[in-house]
Amino acid sequence: MDFGLMARIFPFFLEAALVTIELSLLSLALGLTVAAVITMFRLSRLRTLRAIGTLYVSLMRGTPCLIQLFILYFGGPQIGINLSPFAAGAIGLGMNIGAYMAEAMRGAILAVDRGQTEAARVLGFSRFETMRIVVLPQAAKLMIRPLGVNAVALVKGTALVSTISVVDLTYTAQRFIGSTYKPFEIFAVAAILYMAMIYALSKVVDFLDRRYAAA
């Protein structure tokens, strides 16, 4: 084990980890937005919207994320979509995780007792008001954990963007192998940094859960 090498490459890897973090935050924001829209579609009274929502979720969850990134980045230019590797990565990952997060949101909303909706509706609240005033505040608490699990999966999933030449942590690690021939040490450093990110993220989720979901 070459600890000297690990110490020497560490600063370079920190910088690459920053790219991974940026990419994670951007695709998380996009994913949550996509998920909110898809959830509205899936719970809509309009059959067309429900069908679009269901189709989106099954497409995104039914195909490998790697293929989705390839279609967007390599296939995009063919239909006039020219994205930088980073942009393609952020959009691809966000759209993918959005489908999973939509399922988490829908599950949480459906888990709120039906009696809550009935109680609000008999007072005279509209469907929308019932959702906003009564259901969502309760569902939000139930969403924190499952969305946290999705966010962790997203951070780990960012490693895929190394295949479309985004200079993230995984890509950087691969580049260093050529000059050092010590893949064990190099990937170990990358793994440690991923673990640190996941640990920090899970602490944030724990905090949010304790702060908001405590009954």
Residue 4 tokens read as: 């000297």
The residue within the footprint of other proteins, chosen from 44, 138, 163, 202 (CB under 8 A), is 138
Q: Which two tokens stand for residue 28?
A: 């998380």
Is the separation of the CB atoms in 156 and 198 below 8 Å? yes
From the list 11, 80, 124, 178, which residue makes contact with other proteins (rule: CB under 8 A)?
124
- To other proteins, the closest distance from the beta carbon of 123 in angstroms equals 4
Q: Are 8 and 68 within 8 A, CB to CB?
A: no
- Residue 108 beta carbon to other proteins: minimum distance, rounded to whole angstroms: 14
Closest to other proteins by CB, 46 vs 79, is 46
Q: Which is nearer to other proteins, 35 or 120 (CB)?
A: 120
SS3 content of the chain, % helix, strand, coil (to 5): 90, 0, 10
The answer to whether residue 115 forms part of the interface with other proteins (CB under 8 A) is yes
Sole window of 32-40, 53-61, 71-79, 108-116 interacting with other proteins (rule: CB under 8 A): 108-116
Q: Give the sign of the dihedral formed by CA 81, CA 96, CA 53, CA 63.
A: positive
144 to 183, contacts with other proteins by CB under 8 A? none
CA–CA distance, 209 with 103 (Å, rounded to integer): 19
Residues at the contact surface with other proteins, assessed by CB under 8 A: 113, 115-116, 118-127, 129, 133-134, 137-138, 215
